Each structure stands twice: as structure tokens, then as C-alpha cells.
Structure 1
Amino acid sequence: MSILKSFFRSREKPTNQSLTSPTRFLFGQTTAGKVVTEQSSMQMTAVYSCVRILAEAVAGLPLHFYQYQKGGGKEKALEHPLYFLLHDEPNSEMTSFVFRETLMTHLLLWGNAYAQIIRNGKGEVVALYPLQPERIQVHRDEQKEIYYLYTVENGKQVKLPKTEVLHILGLGFDGLVGYSPIAMAKNAIGLAIATEEYGSKFFANGANPGGVLEHPGTLKDPIRIRESWNATFGGSSNAAKVAVLEEGMKYTPISISPEQAQFLETRKFQINEIARIFRVPPHMVGDLEKSSFSNIEQQSLEFVKYTLDPWVTRWEQAMTKALLTPDEKKEYFIKFNVDGLLRGDYQSRMNGYATGRQNGWMSANDIRELENLDRISDEEGGNLYLINGNMLPLKDAGAFANTKESEEENDEILEVEESEGSESRLERGSPRANSLSQWANR
């Protein structure tokens, strides 16, 4: 079986083509009077910022392909072809960062991310290409097997079996297709678009609200007068001009001011509302009103735990399900490394390392690897595990003090301190003396 041809084209001309999908009814006109789609929502700075933060965070995490060790633990499966595809280049036109960033953007806007799996004659995965989520539909055949219909450039639909598609889905109602966060929150985003547009028009009109020109008599050409007024005093470049009214004309504003409409408060609330949709801390989208040096670090840790971890788990399980055979799942696994994002400040890390080092569950190389430092050789004690010498098992507490031999050991210790050359005497002494001699010769 030859390698299948990919439907992905990196230089494909962008189009506005979209298919009727199960979530399409959720898009369209909002209560604020604005049409919200995946593309139009990205024009909102808050939406763009949240999508970029999450997409870059997932794309920037180290992604490794591991193999279980027989004695326990794990090691990187560097020789497996999937390691290079996931960690470096999923295809000849993309890096791993760009590939994951693209799919994560699809996942955040459409609720689904798809990639075509290219295999060689042996059935091994040799490439992954992203598919446009608005062009794909999920169906079941007569045997209840899932398949995907993908619309290519000429409008033709191609049927893809589930073994040729990597599908990462977001929150949904049936476990087969995710629902778009943009569609589910279209009214909140529509209100944000409406308030932003209102502010733009307000300043475009010279920061002056609309009003009425009143004339005591009858005007022969009111349209000409209105156009002349707008041309003279409309726009931000004409702001603060002095108006001269003739023939008893009077200008009366009729619109409420932005302060009365709580324009700024509404815009600020909608930014927090959009950040809430994507579960992004407000300080990460530029709202520092309720943030301080004492709580920003905690919010950042909660962002990793409650926001990134669920997305990362979706990625790991979807890739394991689609890319590994049943036998490989018993031997290999895919894992994102989020430890770097969970690290605290320098002082907190050093205190934690000191605790691990002194209690014997971290070596110097374990610590240096976490800090991205070069390893130390075994001759220099890089893999040596140490523990404090004053710690004993609970069952041995007081054992030496309750024996007569302990008194003899104390006498011998005094002799060692008072006299030099007593090594021969210590050799005939107790095990305690021997242990002291061994410690002194280290």
C-alpha cells in the first residue's frame, strides 16, 4: 500500500466556505445585533488574546514519546518514528510548535481539531497534516463505525476512516463531536463587539453624541444642511470646533453619554466574561485590577492545573488512541511535560530541592536535570543519594543507650579523642568504634 496523498496545502487560498454542521445553528445573529462566527470573534482583542495564550501554551510544552522500562520508570523512545513526528516535525512543512498551535486554535474556536494520518506500507505513521474543521463532518456507517467526510477544494467530498484521522474534541454532548465555545457564548462575544463598535463610532464622530438641528422656520433643503453639518463637525479631526448657527437654529443632543451608558464598565466586564469562557486568569489578558504580586503566582499555577491540564489530557489520550496500535499502547505512551510551568520562584525551588536532597529521594543530577543543567559524572557523586546521619528507624531508637556495650563504646570514643595512634586499639573494639574508623577514612 503506497503512502496516501495529503489533503493539506500550506499555500492554499483562504476561502469563506463552510459546511452546515451540527453546531452551525448556534452561530449567526446575536441579541446585541452582531453576527458572531469563528473568524469575526477573533477580531475581539480578548478572544484573540485567550486563543493565543492557550494555543501557544500547549504548543510550547515539551512533548515526548516514552517507553515503559521493565524494572519500572520510563525512558524516551528516541528510536521510534513517532518521537521525531511529535517532538520535531509532524510533516515536511510544519514544526511541532506550529502544528500544535494550529490544531489548538481550531479546538478553541470550533471545538474540534482534526489531522490526517499518513501511513506507509507497513502501517507506520509517517506524517500528520491538519484538516480544516469547518470542512469536515462526522458520521456513522451502517455498521455503526465512525467515518469522516472532508470537502476538498473542488467541492468533492472524500470519505476518511477513523484510522486515518486524529480527532481531538472539546466539550460536547455526545462524546463524538465537540461544541464550539464561540458558538455557545455568542451573545457575550456579540455584546463585546457591539460595545467596541459603539466606542469606535463615538470617537469617529468627534466624541460628540448625536443630536437634532432645530430651525424656527421651514427648511427648503434639510438634507443639504445635515450633510454640511456632518462634513464640518463630524469625525475626530473636527472635534472641539466652534459651531456657528444661523437663522435661529439650535443644536440639541439626544443621545445619552458614554458615562450614563456605563460604556467603560461594560467593556471591562465583557473582557472578563470572555476570559471566563476560556478559563484564562484576567491578568493574562491585561486586566490587573484585582491582581497583585502575592496572588499572580498562585493564579498562574491554577491556570496550569485547571485550564491547561484538561486540554493536555485531551491531546495525550487522543494521540494515544489514534497513533498507537493495541500492542504499542502496552509499551509506549505520550506525555506533555508541564513541570516547568508548575515551578515556583527561585527561592522556593531551592528550598524544595534541599529538602529532597537531604531526605535521600533526589540526587544532584535529578536536581540539575530539572534546572536544565549538565549532569555530573558518577565519579563526582552526581547520582549519589544522601540522607542525614542523625536519623534512625523508629524501632532502633534508644537501642544503644540500653545496652552495656554502649558504655564501653563511649569509653573507647574518649580514648580515640585523647590519644593518637589508637587505631590498633579500635580495631579490637566494638562495631561502633569500627564504624567511626570507617567514617574517618572516607
Structure 2
Amino acid sequence: MSLWTRIFGGGASRTPEPRASFQDKGGGVVISTSQELEDALRAGSVTASGARVTPDTAMRVAAVYACVRVRSGIVANMPLHIKRRVDARTREDATDHPVWKLLRRKPNRWQTPAQFKRMMQAHLILRGNAYAMIVSSRGLPQEMIPLHPDRVECKQNDDLSLVYVYTRKDGRRVELKQSEVFHLVGLTLDGVHGVSAITYARETIGLSLAQEQHGATVFKNGARVSSVLTHPNKLGKEGLEFLRASLDDYRAGGESEGKALILEEGMSVTQLAMTSEDAEWIESRKFSRTDIAMFLGVPPHMIGDTEKNTSWGTGIESQTQGFITFSAEDDLTIWEETINRDLIGDEADVYARFNRAALVRGDIKARWEAYVKALQWGVYSPDEVRALEDMNPREDGQGGQYYDPPNTAGGADKSEKDDGDEPAQPA
């Protein structure tokens, strides 16, 4: 039986065997169907605010969605190279290696490399782990099939080897060897399992969800109370019913939007300013957004929170550079080392490397300033710069030469003058 069939099944469908029902005396959940198993796997704990927080519900919070989008987008869009060491100083693209095809062309039958990397990185951020089954032929990887982290259980044996148990949708459990799984691990406390930022930010995210629900309820019921109706005497039952119907029709919007409210029996209206509760609710939402960005390692300005920052200038630039250094670099290193361990293995001359220069690909000024300096110092030749810009070599054949660094200009003339028998005389 092939690995694919073991994991996802195949051939004629088979009805799961009936299970004996029983009562759990410990107050747990009794699972008897595949749907109950699905719900249990995706269940999350209820926070103090009353909101149930799971990785899926957390994505409904705008700040969480924005942070996951930013961090997963960097990994998805940055070029990933598979390199081969020719000698101590020479490297070349290992385009003949099967891992190059997986990560640059077709990781599986339905995903592009960017889709695969974006999804795996999102799993890593939201759940602390990301898994993909490695389908191999004759010892060479051919496909990478993503596995949902909620359905994978990672165990460490007594000999320190790892084994993975995948729960299929029909409830059956399949065991996978360590060599059959591509496993990305984020921050870990035991060296095996990654911890999810959602777990530790659960209360903050739950508060944000509760605040959004509260705000939606308030606006559904006609927004906050902005005025008080005062009656000089006592409003009768019939007058109260007329007033309630009039208010409901007035707050319904539509054709009534913007029209004046007609009051009867000498009633007056007193306008109210924003209450302290309203102001505290708005401020608490801002604090929640900042806390979520902190948990997920993204500067607030990158998710649209520029209230306490200038939108231009060195402050934003420094924060962006800090994000690249401390968050993006962390993600890129995790991917590179995991590819080397799980896909490339013991081939010491082949390794994975992201092209970090692509971080300034959208900034043409910064990109060309870097090219000019590289040309001046003899790091790049003109043809190498043109290749980075996806351009053909120069037609005159002069693009392969390297320029001398500025501090060596005139060095040849100086050496000729100093080659005489007499030492150079001081000026």
C-alpha cells in the first residue's frame, strides 16, 4: 500500500465500523462520529471575556489577520534558491535537484510554491507547527502534501526519534515516520513541539472579539444613546406604544435616514456627548490591536496602526528594519534549516537559501543604490547586475569585467614610480 493510500485512502469506500457508546464519568466529551472528532480537534477554550478563541476565530480579528498576512507573505514571495557548493568559493544553482522542482515549480498537484509556503507559514504562526507529508520515489522527494496541524500528533520515542500520527477525516489514525514528514517548528519549549502565539494571546484576542461583538450589537440597536427624551408629565400606555413604534421606524434607516423625529405631548430632546464608557471602549480596542501586533512580532504601523507614529521618516524605517531583522529573518532561517534537514538530508554540498535582497525589490531607489556600490567595489560585474534585473548580458561583451575599488585607483602608477633603486624622497 502506497503512502498516499495509507494517509488519504483510495479505491472503494469503506463504511467505518460501529463503535460502542459509553458515558465518560470524568466530564469529558464522548466522540462517536467523524464530525464530532472534527469539532473536538478544532475546539478552543473560552476566555474570561466569554469569547471562544481558536486559530480560525482569531483570524476574524483584523489585527491577527493582518499580522498573519504580512509574515506569511514575506516567506511566500521571497525567492528560494537551492544551491550547490562547487568548491570553497564557488556556488551554483542546483536546478537538477528534485527539491529545486518542489520548492520552485510544483510542490504538489494543486498548489503553486507561493501558495504552499504561504499556507505552511500561516499554520506555523497560528499553531506553532506546520506539517507536510513527503511523498518519495527511490529515495527522492516527489511531492509535499500539506497536513492540517490540528490532525497531527507528534511524539518522541525513547530513542529520541520522532513519530507522527495523522487522524484522517473518517477517524482512522495513520502513523508516519520522521523521514516522511516535513515539520516546521516555531518557538518551542521542549525541542519537539512549537508553541502557538494564539495560545498565549488568547485573552487579548478574546477581548478583541468580545469588543467587536459588543460594538456590532450596539450599532445594530441604533448605535449609542445620543439623546434623552423628556416628558413634562407621565406618558400613557398608548403614547408609549406610539413613541416606541416611531423610534423603531426612525432608527431603521432606509427612507427614514436623515429625517427629523416628531415628538408629541410636549416632549423635548437633550443631546448627549460621547460617554466615558464609549471613550474607554475605543481606547481598549486600540490597546488590543497593539498587543496583538506585539504577540505576533509585527510593528503596528505595518498593520495600519500609525496613530503614534509618523507615516514617513526614520521612525517607520527603523521599525521596518527591526521587523526584517527579528521577525522575518527568524521565519526564513526556520525554513532554510528545515529544508536542509527534512528534504536535502546528508548532501553536504546542497543547501537552501532565500534571496534576502528581494526585500528591497519593490524599492527601486534602494535597489539601484546597492547595485552602484556593488559595481564600484568590484562585487558585481555589469552583466551580473543585469542578470539580477532579468536582463540579457551586454551585447558589446564588456559586461563581464569588474571595476577596481575606488581606494585602489592609481595604484599601478604608484608602484611603477616606487620600483627604482633609490628610495622615494620625502616631499
Task: Calculate the TM-score normalised by the size of structure 1.
Answer: 0.76
The alignment status of 1:89 with 2:106, answered yes or no, reads yes
Please give the alpha-carbon distance, in whole angstroms, between the structure 1 residues aligned to 2:365 and 2:119.
36
Distance 2:367 2:415 in 1: 33
Name the CA shift for 1:80/1:351 in 2 (closer, same or farther; >3 Å).
closer
Given that 2:166 and 2:176 are in contact with CA atoms closer than 8 Å, whether structure 1 keeps it comes out as yes
Whole-Å separation in 2 of the counterparts to 1:182 and 1:404: 74
Residue 353 of structure 2 corresponds to residue 314 of structure 1: no
Q: CA deviation at 1:225?
A: 8.8
Do the aligned partners of 2:38 and 2:169 also contact (CA within 8 Å) in 1?
Answer: no
Residue 384 of structure 1: how far off its partner (Å):
0.8
For residue 227 of structure 1, report the CA deviation from its aligned partner.
Answer: 7.3
CA contact (8 A) 1:360 1:386 kept: yes
**Separation in structure 1 between the aligned mates of residue 244 and residue 188 of structure 2, nearest angstrom:** 52
Larger Rg: 1
Task: Identify which range, 134-143 or 177-186, moves more after superposition.
Answer: 134-143
CA distance in 1, matches of 2:213, 2:421: 86
> 2 CA distance for matches of 1:107 and 1:386?
45
Aligned-pair distance for 1:144? 4.1
Q: 1:345 to 1:269 in 2, by over 3 A?
A: same
| 1:132 positional shift | 0.8
Q: Which moved more, 1:345-354 or 1:44-53?
A: 345-354
Change beyond 3 A, Cα 1:368–1:262:
same
Structure 1 Cα separation of the partners of residues 196 and 7 of structure 2 = 24
User: Aligned ranges for residues 2-401 of structure 1 at < 5 Å?
Assistant: 4-5=4-5, 7=7, 17=38, 19=40, 27-120=44-137, 122-209=138-225, 228=245, 231-232=248-249, 234-235=251-252, 242=261, 244=263, 257=275, 260-289=278-307, 290-295=309-314, 296-326=316-346, 328=347, 330-342=348-360, 345-376=363-394, 380-387=397-404, 390-392=409-411, 399=418
Alignment check: 8 A CA contact 1:64 1:335 kept: yes
Matches of 1:310 and 1:355, distance apart in 2: 27
SS in 2 for 1:276: helix
Letter in 1 for 2:56: Q
Task: Report if aligned partners of 1:6, 1:118 keep a CA contact under 8 Å in 2.
Answer: no
Compared CA separation, residues 254 and 149, structure 1 to 2 (3 A): farther
Q: Return the offset for 1:64.
A: 1.7
Q: Which amino acid aligns with 1:17?
A: E
Secondary structure, counterpart of 1:182 in structure 2: helix
Residues 1:336 and 1:352: Cα distance change in structure 2 (over 3 Å):
closer
- Deviations along 1:256-290, one digit per CA (max 9) or x if unpaired, are 83665423322223222222222222222122331
Query: What is the TM-score when the length of structure 2 is the normalising length?
Result: 0.78
Percent identity of equivalent pairs: 31
Check 1:156–1:293 CA distance in 2 against 1; reply closer, same or farther (3 A cut): same
Amino acid at match of 1:88: R
For residue 323 of structure 2, give the secondary structure of its aligned residue in structure 1. helix
- Larger displacement relative to structure 2 (271-280 or 340-349): 340-349
Q: CA deviation at 1:230?
A: 6.9
| 1:236 CA displacement | 5.4
User: Which moves more between the two structures, 125-134 or 182-191?
Assistant: 182-191
Q: 1:148 to 1:200 in 2, by over 3 A?
A: same
Q: How far is 1:359 from its partner?
A: 3.1
CA contact (8 A) 1:19 1:134 kept: no
Deviation of 1:340 after TM superposition, in Å, equals 1.6
Letter in 2 for 1:153: K
- Asked if 1 retains the 8 angstrom alpha-carbon contact of 2:79 and 2:358, the reply is no
1:358-417 CA deviation, whole Å, 9 max, x = no partner?
A: 33332112322333332236x622221122563439x959726884999xxxxxxxxxxx
What CA distance in whole angstroms lies between the structure 2 residues aligned with 1:19 and 1:391? 75
Structure 1 runs not aligned, ≥5 long: 407-442
Task: Give the secondary-structure state (helix, strand or coil) at the position aligned to 1:279.
Answer: coil
Residue pair 1:116, 1:166 contacting (<8 A) in 2 also:
yes
Q: Report Cα offsets for 1:332-369 as digits up to 9, x if no partner.
A: 10111121214695445444433332333321123223
Q: Secondary structure of 2:5's match?
A: coil
Q: How far off its partner does 1:300 sit?
A: 3.0
1:410 aligned residue: none
> Separation in 1 of the partners of 2:203 and 2:226?
26
One-letter identity of the residue aligned with 2:409: N
Offset of 1:38 from its aligned partner?
Answer: 1.1
How many Å separate the matches in 1 of 2:351 and 2:229?
73
